[in-house]
Amino acid sequence: MHSGTPLSLSVQRVLIAAFFLLLGVPTVRAADPEIFPLSQVKPGMKGEALTIFAGDQVEKFDLVVIGVMPNFLAPKESIILVQLEGPKVEHTGVVAGMSGSPVYIDGKLAGALSLKLGLFAKEPLAGVTPIENMLSLPKGQPRPIRTENTPDDTLAENTAAWPRAGAKFELPQEWAARSGLGGGNFMTPIESPLVFSGFSGAAIRQYASAFAGFGMMAAQGGTAAARPDDRDIKPGDMVSAVLMEGDLSLDASCTVTTIVDGRVYVCGHPLFGFGSVAMPMARGRVLTTLSSELESTKIVNAGGTIGSISQDRVTAVVGSLGAAPKLIPIDMTVATPDGDQHLSFRMMSNPKITPLLMGLAALNGLVQNAVYGEGTTLHLSGGIEIAGHSTVNLENYFAPTDSFIPDGSSVAGAVENVFQRIFANPYETADIQRVSLRMEALPERRQTTIEGAWLDKTEAGPGDTVNVKVQMRPYRGSPVIRDVRITIPAQATRGTSMQILASDSMTLNRLNFVSGSQTRLQSLEQMISVLNRERRNNRLYVTLLDPSPTMVVQDKVMPNVPASQINLLDQRGGPASSLVVRESAAGEWSVPLDQIVQGSTTITIQIK
């Protein structure tokens, strides 16, 4: 008895350890699905499909094959045309979120629903992506995001352009007749529900068209609490691609077609067509299905994260159960006289969509605040931390607009622009570690316009100091005069004249001697330096312009280059990091104001 006790305890420990180990291991399918080859699909064949209309119950509905349309989407991209049967699908038609629903013929997997009949048609006709095309996608982990535009030849067949929302594939007359339809009918991609949680309707409306271009149907929704069975997915269940999570969440959902060797195949078409990606994959929980003459759709909440999506290609989206990829943490504060609102969330890192998501989040942070109102001046500050580099500083002011768009759109556009430039840099992939944003709504319209300028004297010698007086008129206020003291360069040529420009930041940024230099950088760090030095909207700038040509090397103006060298480079062309400009800045001064500056004016001074 005594010797048996330790053995019993050991067995118990092993069983307990095995139990907890199993809790963390995703469900593994014992066998691959049996495939029904495309070559054997014939008109009149009966089949069935799996999907969820509400809750977690996967339901079957019948279908009949009308025929195979070869090369319908592209070369070697055939579609199986089917008619869905049964009371539910005849009521709803093909539903947004149904893409990926597995289609079986004789109990064997034939493909996934991916296309539907055009708008305002509840005729339950659908296109099916053959399963062979889905399973032919590349295997393995996603490679790093490519910053250059060189195509990946080894994956060219799977990265062909997929039709976006609004794309029409007209049914040939023969197929329309087989389907009992008249002429002029077309097929379109089944849309994927794009569920916004924590977003206002105003912010969604501003960006809905951008997401619609990717075949997404924007809808407000929520999130579902993680459950122990989230990873126990099967064909017909739903999963969600996580674009954002936290206080703000954004998810795109599709139906699971099959699971092979731990790889989860969904959608039957791309979400964005990005190719290799790194997006968290979450369980999708269907609340209900809404029937509509325009577009029936599933209402889907994202549940617990269950793995990652690594491929987003023409015939399928592919993921795997397990760990999720890293997301960019975002800390956002919206400050008003009545208090601050803090938001914390995370978003995916992708050159195409992350800038869009950042603009959306910034706009939403403003318009969603309970005390936000139009007509206020907005102050943006914060930083973007990039691994191995200096922080990108965000600092600017924005005036309200009389246009019929939210005033916060200018802030959103500025944030979006900075992220686009960081991701589009041709030097290296930017590994963004963290982002902090602070947006402050300041009372009233703080805006002033430059009306004119003059000098306290019309002539000056090299090295002299000159006082420039600039008259400015605040919005609905009385004119004020600002004094800016500038110094004539010691190397200025006597007997000539120079131009003095009093302006806002936008006017100065448009001048060639500024914009030209920014196209000849050599590294991401240099680009960050340029971003941090960019002029701000709340400053009055006075610039002394030299009419003689000069050179810009990388991001620096070279003021004393011999004319002979400039002429030679102008004729033969210089290195890629250099630029010859016709007019240069001999000096630049600025005055910070508590208002946003608009306008410009020019005066002339004689060098004696």
Reported pTM: 0.79
Place of tokens 């570690």: 433
Examine the pLDDT at 370 and tell me if it is beyond 80: no
Comparing 168-177, 318-327, 549-558, 583-592, which segment has the lowest mean pLDDT?
549-558
Tally Cβ neighbours within 10 Å of residue 541.
Answer: 23
Question: Rounded distance, CA 587 to CA 585, Å?
Answer: 5
Count of residues making up the chain: 608
Q: Which residues contact 379 (CB under 8 A, 6 or more apart)?
A: 396, 397, 398, 439, 440, 442
Question: Rounded distance, CA 261 to CA 244, Å?
Answer: 28
Place of tokens 């609004």: 166
Question: Rounded distance, CA 288 to CA 297, Å?
Answer: 9
DSSP annotation string for 129-196: EEHHHHHTSPPSPPPPPP-S----GGGGGGSSPPP-TT--EEPPHHHHHHTT--TT-EEEEPPEEEEE
What does the DSSP 8-state code read for residue 26? Answer: P
Mean pLDDT of 392-407: 87
Phi, psi dihedrals of residue 203, rounded to the nearest 5°: -70, -40
Question: Rounded distance, CA 510 to CA 496, Å?
Answer: 25
Segment 345-364, tens digit of pLDDT: 999 999 999 999 999 999 99
Examine the pLDDT at 397 and tell me if it is beyond 80: yes
Residue 52 pLDDT grade (very low, low, confident, very high; cuts 50, 70, 90)? very high
Cα radius of gyration (the chain): 31
What was the pLDDT predicted at 212?
A: 80
For residue 129, give the nearest of 106, 112, 108, 109 by alpha carbon.
112
For 255, the token pair is 């139906």
Question: Rounded distance, CA 400 to CA 87, Å?
Answer: 53
Tally Cβ neighbours within 10 Å of residue 473.
Answer: 17
> Rounded to the nearest 10 degrees, how much is the dihedral formed by the CA atoms of 577, 579, 583, 584?
20
- Provide the CB-side half-sphere exposure for 116 (13 A, CA): 29
> Which CATH number describes the domain made up of 38-141+157-188?
2.40.10.10
Q: Which residues contact 444 (CB under 8 A, 6 or more apart)?
A: 375, 376, 377
What was the pLDDT predicted at 22?
A: 43
Sequence ranges of the domains in the chain? 38-141+157-188, 190-321, 356-442, 447-607
What was the pLDDT predicted at 520?
A: 64
Question: Rounded distance, CA 415 to CA 395, Å?
Answer: 10
CB-CB contact of 158 with 129 (8 Å): no
For 208, the token pair is 């809905």
Segment 489-515, tens digit of pLDDT: 999 989 999 999 999 998 887 774 443
What was the pLDDT predicted at 11?
A: 40
What was the pLDDT predicted at 149?
A: 36
Q: Which residues contact 294 (CB under 8 A, 6 or more apart)?
A: 119, 120
What average pLDDT does the chain have? Answer: 82
Question: Rounded distance, CA 454 to CA 27, Å?
Answer: 78
What does the DSSP 8-state code read for residue 43? Answer: T
What was the pLDDT predicted at 549?
A: 58
> Rounded to the nearest 10 degrees, how much is the dihedral formed by the CA atoms of 354, 357, 362, 364?
-170
Residue type, 430: A
Q: Residue by residue, what is the 3-state secondary structure of 296-358? A: CEEEEEEEEEEEEEEEECCCCEEEEECCCCCCEEEEEEEEECCEEEEEEEEECCCCCCHHHHH
CB-CB contact of 333 with 276 (8 Å): no
Residue 100 or 157, more confident: 100
H-helix or E-strand spanning residue 529: helix 524-533
Phi, psi dihedrals of residue 340, rounded to the nearest 5°: -105, 150
CB-CB contact of 598 with 450 (8 Å): yes
What was the pLDDT predicted at 336?
A: 75
Question: Rounded distance, CA 563 to CA 264, Å?
Answer: 66
What does the DSSP 8-state code read for residue 55? Answer: B
Question: Rounded distance, CA 346 to CA 363, Å?
Answer: 16
